Structure 1
Amino acid sequence: MARGGARARETLVRVTDARTAPDPTSAPDPIAALLAVLDVAPGTTPGTFTATNLPKPGGRVFGGQVIAQALVAAGRTVPGGRLPHSLHGYFLRAGDVATPVDLAVEELRDGRSFSARRTHAAQDGEPILSMIASFQEEQDGVDHTEPAPDVPEPEDVESAMDRMGHLDHPVARFWTHQSAFDVRHVGGSLYLGPAPSPEGRQRVWMRAKGPLPADQLLHRAVLAFACDQIMLEPVLRRAGLSWLTPGLSVASLDHAMWWHRDVRVDDWLLFDQSSPSAQGGRGLGAARVFDRSGTLVASIAQEGMVRIPTA
């Protein structure tokens, strides 16, 4: 839940007994909305693009959205057949959902098999994200993968919709009815309270709620979008916190991803997460992402600001 902070996660306590379910037919199709914001439009000069934003409680741009847009923009400037295999980005300022995002791609290098691009995202001339990504042609080489953990199948795990779909509250509606993703926490979520016991491990099944076009750049960008909402949860889990902890303030600071293989985000993906360290108001979240067959498709790391009031 990058760039959201405490203001974007207003407490749900006062509505946990409200059983008036939002009408999902009155909301825009979340998959169509996701694809629209990732379809960045060419700007007036080469290497520039503009993009719109998804609405979000609190009025701030979702960090996963802007890093996915930056990746799509960079991918549209590389030679055909080259896909992103890694990115490293820094969130610099909170974005405003009412202001379009301007994307400028710098072509750093095109080698025989690799391309490097730097993308800056800005609003009203102020940078909100700086990202560098590397792209590679498909090549043969050494091939191995660590095994996936043994967890229940996604059909046997409670979803965010099961947990919060009945709540008539803007934050609950955003992460259930308006979200493009079906999210299922193995062992329970942190939406309405802390975990029964504090530990820095978390396993989550996730997939898009509908089919996506067969465009691998798009699927890799959608994975960058989707993972941002859960990357810092192991930090909260280890500290005995939840998204409802009074005064909690959370914001993504940086984000790193490595794609090892092709990925389909409209099929179930398992996030095997951990939090190696937290200190100084910052926490590190890490994830290994497996497809349903148990193949490792991506690795992710994110450090974020995690603050709670002190007595």
Structure 2
Amino acid sequence: MNSVNDLLKVLVLKKIAENQFNGISKTVGSPNVFGGQVLAQSLNAANRTITNGRVLHSMHSYFLEAGDLALPITYQVDIIRDGGSFSTRRVTANQGDKIIFIIAASFHKNEDGYEHQIKIKDDIKQPEELASWSDMLQQFGDFLPKATKSFLEIPRPIEFKPVDIINPFDKKDLEPHTEVWFKLKGDSSTLDLATKQQILTYISDYNILGVALHPHASKAHWGNTQTASLDHSMWYFRDFDFNDWMLYTLDTPSTSNARGFARGHIFTRDGKLVASVAQEGLMRPLKS
């Protein structure tokens, strides 16, 4: 996938029955279905059953089984409630007779109320000062670990620019936070809010679990740690567009019991807080 149009061909599902949809998968470099893809596809399914103009404001999900890239995914939407202000949907993702994922999503009518938000960092490096994943592959590809190089070689519809580049050969523990700029490739000017939220959800599963490895980087890395997303929650606050770079700030309050917990906030470049994210993932040290 090289652009937003390629991404939408994956995220927009085919309707096969009432409240039932089928989706295909594209690899992002891992042997299983990317969690962000399943998250976004499930929201596409849920939104297709919303007929009252309400807007997604939160979702909570669990990854139950690894998804098979070769098999279609069927999404079954249950209409739980359409109340006076909120609508709730439950979506189950299946491959064959196996449930691989469940999500609950809530939609809210537009209302006026109080408003505040946390601020974006004042001294954050701007994307024009930074190298992208593509730049890093071009400049350092011959020196990167094989797995890292293979991951960076996968074509993606998003460009990422980490604020700090981590040297994989420098074995030292890192601070429990990081920031990444990202930008969607291609023309996104005609996207409606629901579609933008689905794409943002897809993007939100990139980078987040990695920050939970930072405090243990002197001994832990992707090669000696079994990792998998266990759950993913997201809250959507404000409308936005993808015509400029956006900032994903990430931190990790805790790791314990072979699980890592990470949080994130997504800002527009001018400092508008668009969404917040939380995820817990498996972080199991592999025995040598």
Could you state the TM-score of these two structures normalised by the residue count of structure 2? 0.90
Distance 1:30 1:286, change over 3 A: same
Identical-residue share of aligned pairs (%):
34
Q: Which residue of 2 aligns with 1:201?
A: 177
Q: Deviations over 1:218-242 (max 9, x none)?
A: 1111111111111112111121169
Task: In structure 2, give the amino acid aligned to 1:237.
Answer: H
1:126 aligned to 68, 93, 98, which one? 98
In the alignment, which residue of structure 1 is the partner of 2:86? 114
Q: Contact 1:223/1:265 (CA < 8 Å) preserved in 2?
A: no
Matches within 5 A, 1:105-254: 105-150=77-122, 151-165=124-138, 167=141, 172=149, 174-189=151-166, 192-193=168-169, 197-212=173-188, 213-240=190-217, 245-254=222-231
- Seen in structure 2, the aligned counterparts of structure 1 residues 96 and 176 have a Cα distance that, compared at 3 Å, is same
After TM superposition, the runs of 4+ consecutive aligned structure 1 residues lying more than 3 A away are: 56-59, 165-177, 192-197, 241-246
Alignment check: 8 A CA contact 1:165 1:176 kept: no
Q: Per-residue deviation at 1:302?
A: 0.2
* Structure 1 unpaired stretches of 5+: 1-27
1:294 to 271, 275, 278: 271
AA aligned to 2:129 is: D
CA pair 108-189 structure 1, distance change in 2 beyond 3 A? farther
Give the distance between the partners of 1:222 and 1:207, measured in 2 at CA.
11
Which residue of the partner structure matches residue 281 of structure 2?
Answer: 304
In the alignment, the residues of structure 2 paired with residue 152 and residue 176 of structure 1 have an alpha-carbon distance, to the nearest angstrom, of 25
User: Counterpart of 2:93 in 1: which secondary structure?
Assistant: strand
Q: How many residues end up aligned between the 2 structures?
A: 282
Which residue, out of 247, 262, 265, partners 1:270?
247
CA contact (8 A) 2:213 2:221 kept: no
Return the match for 2:12 from 39, 42, 46.
39
How far apart, in 1, do the equivalents of 2:106 and 2:50 lie? 10
Query: What is the DSSP-based 3-state SS (H/G/I as helix, E as strand, rest coil) of the residue aligned with 1:33?
Result: helix
Unaligned runs of 5+ in 2: none
CA displacement 1:56-113 (0-9 Å, x = unmatched): 4443100100010001110110124211100000000000111001000000011122
- Looking at structure 2, the residues matched to 158 and 242 of structure 1 have their Cα atoms a distance apart, in angstroms, of 26
Amino acid at match of 1:202: T
For 2:261 and 2:147, locate their aligned partners in 1 and report how far apart those are by CA, in whole Å: 28
Determine the structure 2 residue equivalent to 1:53. 25
CA deviations on 1:170-221 (whole Å, 9 max, x unpaired) are: 864554551111111112147x456865210111111212222321111111
Residue 29 of structure 1, CA deviation: 3.3
